[in-house]
Amino acid sequence: MKKIRKILFSVYIICVLWITLIDREWSSPHAMLVPFWEYANVIKGVERGFYIKQILGNLIMLMPLGLILPTLKKVNMKQIFLIALLFSAGIETVQFITGRGLMEFDDVFNNTVGAVVGYKIYCKLRVRSNGEI
């Protein structure tokens, strides 16, 4: 079963990298480092539907990291937080360097929160199943 989880995790990481870096058009580097600008647009009603999808998509994107990684390696919430933060910041940095996407503070924030939520779900599932997932 652990081998299947390792394969699943590897496929997941490849999919995230594909979506965020490979399947993108080249452009000049762009960055939006103003914190929570997407949330501000949702509150103001500026393209609300678009920004809600952006926020939810970024929350959901790293949720599997928090769900699957603990089944492969003993990690705590602080470690999940740090791994997600570094992974997301790495993706955003590569997007900026290569011009393959907009480097955003909000993406790093939402991705990291999503991974932590995934970890909390993992913990609840683990408790319900008496430690076996």
What is the domain range of residue 18? 2-128
User: 11 in a domain, yes or no?
Assistant: yes
Q: How high is the pLDDT of residue 29? A: 87
Residue 98 has pLDDT above 70, yes or no: yes
24 half-sphere exposure, CB direction, 13 A CA radius = 22
pLDDT single digits (tens) 14-24:
999 999 999 98
SS3 108: helix
Task: Please tell me the pTM assigned to this model.
Answer: 0.91
CA distances from 8 to 11, 35, 64, 68 (A): 5, 33, 10, 8
Domains: count for the chain: 1
Element (H, E) at 61: helix 48-61
User: Residue 82: inside a domain, yes or no?
Assistant: yes
Cα end-to-end span (Å), the chain? 10
